[in-house]
Protein backbone atom coordinates (compact mmCIF):
# COMPACT_ATOMS: atom_id res chain seq x y z
CA UNK A 1 0.00 0.00 0.00
CA UNK A 2 1.63 3.17 -1.17
CA UNK A 3 1.03 6.49 0.53
CA UNK A 4 2.05 9.86 -0.78
CA UNK A 5 2.87 12.30 1.98
CA UNK A 6 2.82 15.93 0.92
CA UNK A 7 4.24 17.85 3.85
CA UNK A 8 6.89 20.52 4.18
CA UNK A 9 7.48 20.17 7.90
CA UNK A 10 10.36 17.75 7.77
CA UNK A 11 10.21 16.75 11.39
CA UNK A 12 6.54 15.91 11.24
CA UNK A 13 6.95 14.22 7.90
CA UNK A 14 9.68 12.01 9.26
CA UNK A 15 7.57 10.98 12.20
CA UNK A 16 4.62 10.11 10.02
CA UNK A 17 6.82 8.28 7.56
CA UNK A 18 8.36 6.13 10.26
CA UNK A 19 4.98 5.34 11.77
CA UNK A 20 3.51 4.43 8.41
CA UNK A 21 6.36 2.28 7.21
CA UNK A 22 6.30 0.46 10.50
CA UNK A 23 2.76 -0.49 9.59
CA UNK A 24 3.82 -1.75 6.22
CA UNK A 25 2.99 1.24 4.07
CA UNK A 26 5.44 2.38 1.45
CA UNK A 27 5.74 6.10 1.83
CA UNK A 28 6.76 8.57 -0.82
CA UNK A 29 7.43 11.96 0.67
CA UNK A 30 7.45 15.23 -1.21
CA UNK A 31 7.43 18.78 0.04
CA UNK A 32 6.04 20.55 -2.96
CA UNK A 33 2.71 20.44 -4.66
CA UNK A 34 4.10 20.04 -8.13
CA UNK A 35 6.07 16.97 -7.11
CA UNK A 36 2.89 15.49 -5.73
CA UNK A 37 1.13 16.08 -9.00
CA UNK A 38 3.78 14.40 -11.06
CA UNK A 39 3.69 11.34 -8.82
CA UNK A 40 -0.08 11.09 -9.08
CA UNK A 41 0.14 11.20 -12.85
CA UNK A 42 2.83 8.57 -13.04
CA UNK A 43 1.67 5.16 -14.05
CA UNK A 44 3.70 2.90 -11.82
CA UNK A 45 4.33 4.87 -8.67
CA UNK A 46 0.86 6.32 -8.37
CA UNK A 47 -0.07 6.25 -4.69
CA UNK A 48 -3.10 4.55 -3.18
CA UNK A 49 -3.63 7.30 -0.62
CA UNK A 50 -2.55 10.90 -0.25
CA UNK A 51 -1.88 12.75 2.98
CA UNK A 52 -1.90 16.40 2.10
CA UNK A 53 -0.67 19.24 4.24
CA UNK A 54 -2.38 22.46 3.33
CA UNK A 55 0.53 24.76 4.18
CA UNK A 56 2.86 24.12 1.28
CA UNK A 57 5.58 26.49 0.13
CA UNK A 58 4.87 26.50 -3.58
CA UNK A 59 1.11 26.45 -3.77
CA UNK A 60 -2.02 26.37 -1.68
CA UNK A 61 -3.03 22.85 -0.88
CA UNK A 62 -6.62 23.68 -1.68
CA UNK A 63 -5.67 24.53 -5.23
CA UNK A 64 -3.85 21.26 -5.45
CA UNK A 65 -6.87 19.13 -4.67
CA UNK A 66 -8.81 19.61 -7.89
CA UNK A 67 -5.65 19.04 -9.86
CA UNK A 68 -5.04 15.78 -8.08
CA UNK A 69 -8.53 14.62 -8.89
CA UNK A 70 -8.09 15.66 -12.45
CA UNK A 71 -4.92 13.64 -12.81
CA UNK A 72 -6.24 10.56 -11.12
CA UNK A 73 -8.97 9.40 -13.41
CA UNK A 74 -12.23 7.96 -12.22
CA UNK A 75 -11.02 4.41 -12.45
CA UNK A 76 -8.06 4.89 -10.14
CA UNK A 77 -9.43 7.46 -7.81
CA UNK A 78 -7.02 8.38 -5.03
CA UNK A 79 -8.48 9.45 -1.69
CA UNK A 80 -6.96 12.46 0.03
CA UNK A 81 -6.67 13.01 3.76
CA UNK A 82 -6.05 16.63 4.57
CA UNK A 83 -3.69 17.48 7.36
CA UNK A 84 -3.73 21.04 8.54
CA UNK A 85 -2.93 23.38 11.35
CA UNK A 86 -5.92 25.47 10.36
CA UNK A 87 -8.61 24.23 12.69
CA UNK A 88 -11.11 26.95 12.00
CA UNK A 89 -14.46 25.82 10.74
CA UNK A 90 -14.32 27.56 7.33
CA UNK A 91 -11.01 25.89 6.59
CA UNK A 92 -12.37 22.45 7.34
CA UNK A 93 -15.45 23.03 5.25
CA UNK A 94 -13.39 24.40 2.38
CA UNK A 95 -10.99 21.46 2.53
CA UNK A 96 -13.71 18.86 2.53
CA UNK A 97 -15.70 20.62 -0.16
CA UNK A 98 -12.66 20.99 -2.39
CA UNK A 99 -12.36 17.26 -2.65
CA UNK A 100 -10.75 16.17 0.59
CA UNK A 101 -12.00 12.88 1.93
CA UNK A 102 -11.11 13.59 5.51
CA UNK A 103 -9.68 16.45 7.50
CA UNK A 104 -7.42 16.07 10.50
CA UNK A 105 -6.11 19.04 12.43
CA UNK A 106 -2.65 19.32 13.87
CA UNK A 107 -1.67 18.32 16.39
CA UNK A 108 -3.07 14.86 15.93
CA UNK A 109 -2.36 11.41 17.24
CA UNK A 110 -0.80 8.95 14.90
CA UNK A 111 -3.22 6.20 15.84
CA UNK A 112 -6.12 8.32 14.69
CA UNK A 113 -4.38 9.13 11.44
CA UNK A 114 -3.84 5.43 10.89
CA UNK A 115 -7.45 4.61 11.66
CA UNK A 116 -8.69 7.26 9.26
CA UNK A 117 -6.36 6.02 6.58
CA UNK A 118 -7.79 2.57 7.02
CA UNK A 119 -11.25 3.99 6.39
CA UNK A 120 -10.11 5.58 3.15
CA UNK A 121 -8.32 2.43 2.12
CA UNK A 122 -11.26 0.21 2.61
CA UNK A 123 -13.48 2.63 0.74
CA UNK A 124 -11.14 2.74 -2.20
CA UNK A 125 -10.23 -0.91 -2.17
CA UNK A 126 -13.36 -2.71 -1.19
CA UNK A 127 -15.65 -1.30 -3.79
CA UNK A 128 -16.81 -4.71 -4.72
CA UNK A 129 -17.17 -6.01 -1.22
CA UNK A 130 -19.83 -5.96 1.38
CA UNK A 131 -17.54 -6.07 4.34
CA UNK A 132 -16.78 -2.62 5.55
CA UNK A 133 -15.03 -3.42 8.74
CA UNK A 134 -11.33 -3.61 9.31
CA UNK A 135 -11.23 -7.29 8.42
CA UNK A 136 -11.39 -8.75 4.97
CA UNK A 137 -12.72 -12.27 4.76
CA UNK A 138 -12.27 -14.29 1.63
CA UNK A 139 -12.91 -17.98 1.55
CA UNK A 140 -10.87 -19.70 4.26
CA UNK A 141 -8.76 -16.69 5.11
CA UNK A 142 -9.68 -13.58 7.02
CA UNK A 143 -7.33 -10.69 7.50
CA UNK A 144 -7.64 -7.99 10.09
CA UNK A 145 -6.10 -4.88 8.63
CA UNK A 146 -5.89 -2.99 11.88
CA UNK A 147 -3.86 -5.48 13.89
CA UNK A 148 -2.23 -7.33 11.00
CA UNK A 149 -3.54 -10.70 12.00
CA UNK A 150 -4.93 -13.42 9.85
CA UNK A 151 -6.91 -16.51 10.53
CA UNK A 152 -7.19 -19.66 8.48
CA UNK A 153 -10.61 -21.27 8.72
CA UNK A 154 -11.35 -21.32 12.43
CA UNK A 155 -7.78 -21.68 13.51
CA UNK A 156 -5.59 -19.53 15.66
CA UNK A 157 -5.18 -15.88 14.89
CA UNK A 158 -1.59 -15.32 13.91
CA UNK A 159 0.28 -12.12 13.38
CA UNK A 160 1.82 -11.48 10.01
CA UNK A 161 5.14 -9.74 9.51
CA UNK A 162 4.83 -6.40 7.76
CA UNK A 163 5.78 -7.37 4.27
CA UNK A 164 3.70 -10.50 4.26
CA UNK A 165 0.76 -8.54 5.56
CA UNK A 166 1.12 -5.89 2.90
CA UNK A 167 1.19 -8.41 0.12
CA UNK A 168 -1.74 -10.37 1.44
CA UNK A 169 -3.77 -7.24 1.91
CA UNK A 170 -3.12 -6.01 -1.59
CA UNK A 171 -4.16 -9.34 -3.02
CA UNK A 172 -7.22 -9.71 -0.81
CA UNK A 173 -8.47 -6.20 -1.36
CA UNK A 174 -8.86 -6.87 -5.05
CA UNK A 175 -9.79 -10.50 -5.38
CA UNK A 176 -9.65 -11.71 -8.94
CA UNK A 177 -7.14 -9.10 -9.93
CA UNK A 178 -3.64 -10.11 -10.88
CA UNK A 179 -0.65 -8.30 -9.49
CA UNK A 180 2.68 -8.70 -11.21
CA UNK A 181 5.96 -8.89 -9.40
CA UNK A 182 6.70 -5.33 -10.51
CA UNK A 183 3.38 -4.05 -9.22
CA UNK A 184 3.84 -5.67 -5.85
CA UNK A 185 7.36 -4.34 -5.66
CA UNK A 186 6.26 -0.81 -6.39
CA UNK A 187 3.54 -1.01 -3.79
CA UNK A 188 5.87 -2.42 -1.17
CA UNK A 189 8.85 -0.21 -1.66
CA UNK A 190 9.52 3.36 -2.58
CA UNK A 191 10.63 4.29 -6.05
CA UNK A 192 12.53 1.10 -6.57
CA UNK A 193 14.36 0.21 -9.69
CA UNK A 194 15.74 -2.97 -8.31
CA UNK A 195 14.66 -5.39 -10.96
CA UNK A 196 16.41 -8.50 -9.78
CA UNK A 197 14.97 -9.20 -6.39
CA UNK A 198 12.90 -12.20 -5.55
CA UNK A 199 11.95 -10.90 -2.13
CA UNK A 200 8.31 -10.91 -3.14
CA UNK A 201 8.57 -14.55 -4.15
CA UNK A 202 9.93 -15.46 -0.77
CA UNK A 203 7.22 -13.57 1.06
CA UNK A 204 4.61 -15.27 -1.05
CA UNK A 205 6.14 -18.60 -0.20
CA UNK A 206 6.00 -17.83 3.50
CA UNK A 207 2.46 -16.55 3.17
CA UNK A 208 1.33 -19.74 1.53
CA UNK A 209 2.58 -21.70 4.49
CA UNK A 210 0.03 -19.77 6.51
CA UNK A 211 -2.89 -19.41 4.11
CA UNK A 212 -2.64 -22.82 2.56
CA UNK A 213 -0.93 -23.42 -0.72
CA UNK A 214 -3.96 -22.84 -2.95
CA UNK A 215 -5.17 -19.54 -1.60
CA UNK A 216 -2.75 -17.41 -3.55
CA UNK A 217 -2.71 -18.56 -7.12
CA UNK A 218 0.01 -18.05 -9.66
CA UNK A 219 -0.65 -16.97 -13.20
CA UNK A 220 2.58 -17.95 -14.78
CA UNK A 221 4.23 -15.16 -16.67
CA UNK A 222 1.75 -12.64 -15.32
CA UNK A 223 1.52 -12.51 -11.56
CA UNK A 224 -0.49 -13.67 -8.56
CA UNK A 225 -4.05 -13.35 -7.38
CA UNK A 226 -6.53 -14.65 -4.88
CA UNK A 227 -9.80 -15.83 -6.30
CA UNK A 228 -13.06 -14.07 -5.82
CA UNK A 229 -14.85 -16.21 -3.30
CA UNK A 230 -18.60 -16.48 -3.37
Q: How far is the CB of 125 from DNA (least distance, A)?
A: 20
| CA nearest to 79, candidates 68, 88, 67, 87 | 68
Dihedral angle computed from the Cα positions of residues 31, 37, 39 and 44, in that order, rounded to the nearest 10 degrees: 170
Nearest to 83 by CA among 58, 55, 63, 48: 55
* Smallest separation (angstroms) from a second copy to the CB of 2: 18
Of 221 and 230, nearer to DNA (C-beta) is 221
Those residues whose C-beta lies under 8 Å from the C-beta of residue 42, and which sit 6 or more positions away, are none
Chain positions contacting a second copy, by CB under 8 A: 65-66, 69-70, 73-75, 77, 89, 92-93, 96-103, 109, 111-112, 114-116, 118-119, 123, 126-134, 146-148, 159, 161-162, 176-178, 219-222, 225
Nearer to DNA, 6 or 167 (CB): 167
Q: Which residues bind DNA (CB under 7 A)?
A: 18, 21-22, 159, 161-164, 181, 188-189, 194, 196-199, 201-205, 208, 213, 218-224
Q: In angstroms, give the least distance from the CB of 200 to DNA.
A: 8
Residue 10 interacting entry, from DNA, a second copy, none, C-beta within 5 to 8 Å by type = none
CB of 125 to a second copy, least distance (A): 11
Other C-beta atoms within 10 Å of 96: how many?
A: 13
- Work out what residue 152 binds among DNA, a second copy, none; the CB cut-off runs from 5 to 8 Å by kind: none
Residues whose CB is less than 8 angstroms from the CB of residue 6 and which lie 6 or more positions away in sequence, other chains included:
30, 31, 32, 33, 35, 36, 50, 51, 52, 53, 56, 61, 64
Amino acid sequence: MKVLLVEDDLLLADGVQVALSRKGYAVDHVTRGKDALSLVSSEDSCPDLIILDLGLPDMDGLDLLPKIHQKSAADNFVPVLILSARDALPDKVAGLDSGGDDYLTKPFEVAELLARLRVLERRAGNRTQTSQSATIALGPVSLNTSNHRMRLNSGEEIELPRREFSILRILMENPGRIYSREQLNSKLYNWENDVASNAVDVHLHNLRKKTGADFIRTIRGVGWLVEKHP
